[in-house]
Structure 1
Amino acid sequence: MGNATIALIVYMLVIIFWAVLIKRNMAEGMIVGFIVVALFGGSDAFQLMVTGIHSAFTNEVLFASLAFILMSYLIKESNLLNGVLEIFNALLGRLPGGPAFVNIGLSATMGMLSGSNSANTATSGTFTAQWMVRTGWRKDLAATLIAGNGGLGAGFPPSASMFIMLGFAQVSNLISEGELYLGLFVSGIYQVIYRIFLVIYLIKKQGIRRIEHSEKISLKKVIGLNWKSLCVFLGAIIPILVTVGPIGVFLKKLGMSDAVSSISLLIWIPILMITIILLLGYKTLIKNIHSKEVLVKTLFPQYKNIGGVLLFAFAASTIFSELGLSDELILLFSSLNFGKPIMVLLVGVLVVLVAGPLSSTATLTSIGLISFTALLSVGVSPLPAVVSILVFASTEGASPPASGSIFIASGLTETNPEKTFYPLIKYFVVPIAIIGWFIAMGYLPLAV
């Protein structure tokens, strides 16, 4: 076992010790882990720290992750998200068990805007929890669905988990941010489709019937009143069309291949979305963020943790690369002689188990790189390897007993959290892990 591999093991133990036993801030754990890894460079430790920090600060993924946090904050404070809810309500709310479908739609939407499982559960659950209970859903089952659907926060791009994986030099050298963005989006669609069929099954099993509304507003009228909310998604649609869609193909035929290739989705999607939000919701934003004090109290705490985690995770990744970790791990896993199906299964089980007590970001910071290398060693292509690992880690929101999403959903539905543990494992943890296995095996394509 080489020096870099030992450094990785110690790094994993430090992070798990810091998060589970000491229960301190994860950003602090990243700093400690970063220093410990650098010490394995011996006399070059200080130079490795400098190289790692410089690499992290010049990594566009760090900028993108912080920009998406700002975008998520602004869309909430602008109340544009309420318009999306009204549209989902008009479209799906009158179906039998309709609020559960609305919760899926809202969770997927929030997943494309924020990336946090717990925040996703809190936001979507606030709108739909009591609505589900009033329309016939058992409280424990409503909490199960809300917590399970919260996993779409990490299941769709952007997410902190995605940024963690892109921050590893060993990953970013093999796939682009655009490829991962689109691949993770496709995997998110698979998860949404599964959740829709799950809700249909539970509706029939529970005998939930349609609830008639006294006041019916047409979908056309609702869209007419809330169309501005949908414009936010142009910030994602336009860069995708220009880079990989038909417009991009047309521009390349005109000899603009270099210009198109230089467009980074992770840079331009948040920039355009923030611009659109500011244009459409500036009056509400001025009202809700009426002073510097409000901005500091509401926005800055979101940067305190995730910024530190990402910065020092990326810096540590660079040090691992300098120590030659990839070559050591490839040799190690090649000697294990596991078949591809078994190795994918073992990686999936490892990620799911670690994601139980840890967050998805902490999980991938500690074992993301070793999981990626393990999958590559048995012939999994880089993109399905990363996406499958992210799918495995997205079970964090549904993994009892430590998931914050479980307690948020249980509080919103006023039910006992323990009643959701087994249903969450049966309906979400195992099936979503199976989806990740199918993606890694190539049975679920990621082409768009």
Structure 2
Amino acid sequence: MIAIWALVAFIVAIVFWNAVLKRNIGESMIVGFLVVGAFAGRQAPEYMWHGFLDSMQEEVTFAGLAFIFMSFVLAKTPVLDRLIDILNSFLGRLRGGPIYTSTVAGGMFGAIAHVGASVTAAVGSVTVPWMKRSGVSGELSATVVAGCAGMGVTFPFSATMFILVGSTTVTGLMEPDEIILPLALAGLWCLGYRLLLNYYLVRKNGLQPIAPEDRIPAKRSLRAGWTSLLLFVPIIVPLLLTRGPIAVPIAEYTDLAMSSAISLITWIPVLMILLVFFLGRRHLPRTGRGWWKILGETAPQFGVIGVTIVAAFSASNVLGDIGLPEQLTTVLESLSAPAWLMAILVGVIIVVIAIPLTASATMAAVGGVAVAALVGVGIPAPVAAAAVLVFASTEGASPPSGAPIYVAAGIARVDPGKMFAPLLKYYCVPILGVGVLIALGLLPVS
């Protein structure tokens, strides 16, 4: 069980270094990586080196840094200000309008894109600055966006869902299409919880509608800033090419699977940066010295976010090498408890596994066993599968390794460590509770 103890030590080391010693999260993640490596014994140098190399090739590492750069460049132009003026013209009269919009947009985008980091990047690049302008703190803005990342897993038809229903264990318990309705309803329950949370957060933080004198009439804001709406194009175009109605004929013509050929998490920030360069060209530096100054201003955030992401993925790779998935599978198979306790135990184990692993990797490792464990205590297989996917959806809100945390923090330019406690309190633990209630039939999905 050495890998399980390594996971516990990883989390404890990060919390101690960050919360007790008050060191920054980048440094804390390096310490956590070193602690995990120590559990590999003589193979530590090999595992740590390969883990580091793999982490440097992660798309999320690039996306996190790209969005930091994009947000800094965007701040040098009036493009985003004009877009926010338009949004405030229509929704600024609502208390917490930007927060509700961010959550609903996260659900809609998640139902299409399904990748947590993509959901965070696409939605957060617009709504985080809007929330901050409306009086929401940077930490809360980033927390709301990262907390919605998991909705990509709780709606059909994510890759994570297909990994689960395609496993040998689950195919013996149910037909693949039996999960579609339960998972769609489970996703709506998760969205409903987030909307209730928004209501609480708006009142807890005393958020008010935008003052009438600060709201530009809709016609005027559209006339002045209609070009800022083009910021949605870098989101829409990759989606149409990979999942839209033109994706099928393109795939047939090129003989390529477009969803595999075009990575949303890579191309959305690239296209956004290019578009920002074009829209803000009159307000951006025209000399090398000017661009060097911008890079210098972004360097501190590049350092913290980059180191944090690389260390998190490196540690996850080492944990996989020393047998974390196999050992947790053994634990699941040995469980024996009544339905309510089994649902809680399975949920906790899945959530813990999803800390260092992605939801897809979690389902590949223990998803089938988790569903079988719930079916064994009388829970219908489609309901059990939906509940297990809800548990796994906490990956985006699971400190310290959730990639959406660092993408959101990069956009909001805040310390990711300050998001850990709110994410656990507002998203990770409550979504675990939603999954348990779904498994027990108290939140019906069939």
How much has 1:8 moved relative to structure 2?
Answer: 1.9
Shift of 1:197: 6.6
**1:104 counterpart = 2:100:** yes
2:236 is aligned to: 237
Q: Which residue of 1 aligns with 2:144?
A: 152
Task: Tell me if structure 2 keeps the 8 A contact 1:348–1:436.
Answer: yes
Distance 1:276 1:370, change over 3 A: closer
Against the structure 1 CA distance between its residues 335 and 376, is the aligned structure 2 distance closer, same or farther, given a 3 Å change threshold? same
CA distance 1:13–1:367, change in 2 (3 Å): farther
Which letter maps to 1:309?
T
The 2-side partners of 1:244 and 1:3 are apart by 42
Q: Does 1:378 align with 2:370?
A: yes
Deviation (angstroms), 1:227: 1.8
Kindly indicate whether the alpha-carbon contact (under 8 Å) linking 2:231 and 2:275 is maintained by their aligned counterparts in 1.
Answer: yes
Matched, 1:19 2:18: yes
Contact 2:103 2:144 in 1 (8 A): yes
Secondary structure in structure 1 of the residue aligned to 2:330: helix
Distance 1:303 1:116, change over 3 A: farther
Deviation, 1:299, is: 0.8
> Which residue pairs with 1:29 in the alignment?
28
Q: Which amino acid is the alignment partner of residue 33 of structure 1?
A: G
Offset from partner CA, 1:226-255 (integer Å, 9 cap, x none):
222221121111111111121112223435
Q: Provide the residue aligned with 1:306 in structure 2.
A: 305
Report if the CA contact (8 A) 1:148-1:428 is conserved: no
Shift of the alpha carbon at 1:102? 4.0
Counterpart of 1:69 in structure 2 is 68
- The unaligned stretches of length 5 or more in structure 2 are 107-118, 154-159, 165-184, 372-384, 409-415
Q: Give the C-alpha shift of residue 154 in structure 1.
A: 0.5
Distance in structure 2 (CA, Å) of the matches to 1:187 and 1:281: 42
When residues 30 and 334 of structure 1 are mapped into structure 2, their CA distance, relative to the original with a 3 A threshold, is: same
CA gap of 1:338–1:290, structure 2 versus 1, over 3 A, is: farther
Are 2:384 and 1:387 aligned? no
Q: Distance in 1 between matches of 2:359 and 2:259?
A: 31
**Match for 1:275: what amino acid?**
L
- Give 1:15 deviation, angstroms: 1.6
Structure 1 Cα separation of the partners of residues 245 and 83 of structure 2:
27
Say whether the 8 Å CA contact 1:103–1:124 is kept in structure 2. no
For 1:120 and 1:93, how far apart are their aligned partners in 2?
13
- 2:381 alignment partner in structure 1: none
Following TM superposition, by how much is the alpha carbon of 1:307 offset from its aligned partner in structure 2, in angstroms?
0.8
Task: Output the amino acid matched with 2:133.
Answer: F
Q: Is 2:133 the counterpart of 1:127?
A: yes
Distance 1:436 1:75 in 2: 39
Change in 2 beyond 3 A, CA 1:349/1:294: farther
Distance 1:115 1:324, change over 3 A: farther
Summarize the alignment of residues 30-49 of structure 1 with structure 2, pairs less than 5 Å apart: 30-49=29-48
Q: Is it true that 1:7 corresponds to 2:6 in the alignment?
A: yes
Measured at CA, do residues 294 and 192 of structure 1 come closer, stay the same or move farther in structure 2, by a change above 3 Å?
Answer: farther
1:302 to 1:364, Cα distance in 2 relative to 1, 3 A: farther
Deviation at 1:310, TM superposition (A): 1.1
Q: Specify whether residues 157 and 391 from structure 1 end up closer, same or farther in structure 2 by C-alpha distance, changes over 3 A only.
A: closer
In 2, the alpha carbon distance for the partners of 1:234 and 1:187 equals 30
State the alpha-carbon separation in 2 of the partners of residues 209 and 125 from structure 1.
Answer: 12
Contact in 1 for aligned 2:91/2:97 (Cα 8 Å): yes
Segments of 5+ residues of structure 1 without an aligned counterpart are 130-141, 163-170, 176-185, 355-362, 408-420
Are 1:249 and 2:241 counterparts?
no
The aligned amino acid for 1:5 is I
Question: TM-score, normalized by length of structure 2?
Answer: 0.64
Helix, strand or coil at the partner of 2:284? helix
* Deviation at residue 199 of structure 1 after TM alignment: 7.3
Cα 1:335–1:76 change in 2 (3 A) is farther
Please name the residue that 2:168 is paired with.
Answer: none
Moved more, 243-252 or 267-276: 243-252
Does the 8 A contact of 1:78 with 1:284 survive in 2? Answer: yes
Amino acid at match of 2:392: V
Q: Specify whether residues 149 and 351 from structure 1 end up closer, same or farther in structure 2 by C-alpha distance, changes over 3 A only.
A: farther
Q: Aligned-pair distance for 1:375? A: 6.2
Letter in 2 for 1:386: A
Distance 1:230 1:203 in 2: 26
Distance 1:116 1:82 in 2: 15
Other-structure match for 2:225: 226
Query: Shift of residue 301 of structure 1?
Result: 1.2
Contact 1:77 1:284 in 2 (8 A): yes
Q: Please provide the CA RMSD for this pair.
A: 5.2
Deviation at 1:148, TM superposition (A): 6.1
- 1:254/1:4 CA distance change after superposition, 3 Å: same
- Give matches, 1:170-319, under 5 Å: 213=212, 218-254=217-253, 256-258=255-257, 261-286=260-285, 291-292=290-291, 294-319=293-318
Seen in structure 2, the aligned counterparts of structure 1 residues 297 and 99 have a Cα distance that, compared at 3 Å, is: farther
Task: Tell me which amino acid in the other structure corresponds to 2:370.
Answer: V
In the TM superposition, what is the alpha-carbon distance from 1:66 to its structure 2 partner?
1.9
Rounded Cα–Cα distance in structure 2 between residues aligned with 1:330 and 1:191: 26
Q: How many residues align?
A: 373
**Rounded Cα–Cα distance in structure 2 between residues aligned with 1:65 and 1:80:** 21
| CA distance, structure 2, for counterparts of residue 15 and residue 9 of structure 1 | 10
SS at match of 1:246: coil
Deviation at 1:105, TM superposition (A): 3.1
Q: 1:42 to 1:439 in 2, by over 3 A?
A: same
Q: How many Å apart are 1:436 and its aligned residue?
A: 6.1
Give the alignment's TM-score, normalised by structure 1. 0.64
**What is the one-letter code of the residue matched to 2:323?**
G
Aligned AA (1:72) = S
